Amino acid sequence: MQFTINGETRTVEPDIRASLLDVLREHVGLTGTKKGCDHGQCGACTVLVNGRRINSCLTLAVMHQDDDILTIEGLGSADNLHPMQAAFVKHDGYQCGYCTPGQICSAVGMLDEVSKGWPSHVTDKLDSVSLSGDEISERMSGNLCRCAAYPNIVDAISEVSGLAPAKKEAADA
């Protein structure tokens, strides 16, 4: 089977029942995408498929042979960070780092959804989608962080989106 992953054509021969996550990690060697719960509940396995974020543990790889798959490795490199990666570093949005690849891929996909005007559960006006801290939190609710870096993650996403990150309280300074 051939896949387009991070702009490169890859040929692999996985079991037809293999998840996209398992193909990425075990057959292609891209281990940035993490296996967390393996049930689609934590978001650690989030990748972008044709620009849309999905839980790669919940989809069969064979369903994505003609799709454009983007993983954390395809977003940027140590020498050339994606703006979202740089913001996560700047705002300490990574803590232990296990969920970070899924968080970053989800954040990139989420900002694209907002730019297309797609509302969320907390969107006030369906004809005018604007980003706020509550909007970011709602849209990122499928990505869990056991370290509780949520305020830092919201700040990182806010910076990349052009929103001013939340001001730190005087006690935090």
Domain span holding position 124: 83-172
* CA neighbor of 145 nearest in space, from 128, 129, 157, 162: 157
Whether the pLDDT of residue 168 is over 60: the answer is: no
96-120 pLDDT, tens digit per residue, is 999 999 999 999 999 999 999 999 9
Domain count along the chain: 2
Which of 16-25, 47-56, 127-136 bottoms out in mean pLDDT, i.e. has the lowest?
127-136
Same domain for 36 and 94, yes or no, is: no
d(CA 13, CA 20): 12
Residues 39 and 99 in one domain: no
Residue that wins the pLDDT comparison between 55 and 130: 55
Residue 112: CATH number of its domain: 1.10.150.120
pLDDT tens, residue by residue, 50-72: 999 999 999 999 999 999 999 99
- Residue 172 scores a pLDDT above 80: no
Please determine, for residue 163, whether its predicted confidence score (pLDDT) is greater than 50: yes
Average model confidence (pLDDT) across the chain: 92
Can you tell me which residue has the tokens 């989800």?
A: 106
Query: Is the domain of 159 the same as that of 94?
Result: yes
Q: Do 95 and 28 belong together in one domain?
A: no
**Cα 122 from Cα 76, distance rounded (Å):** 31
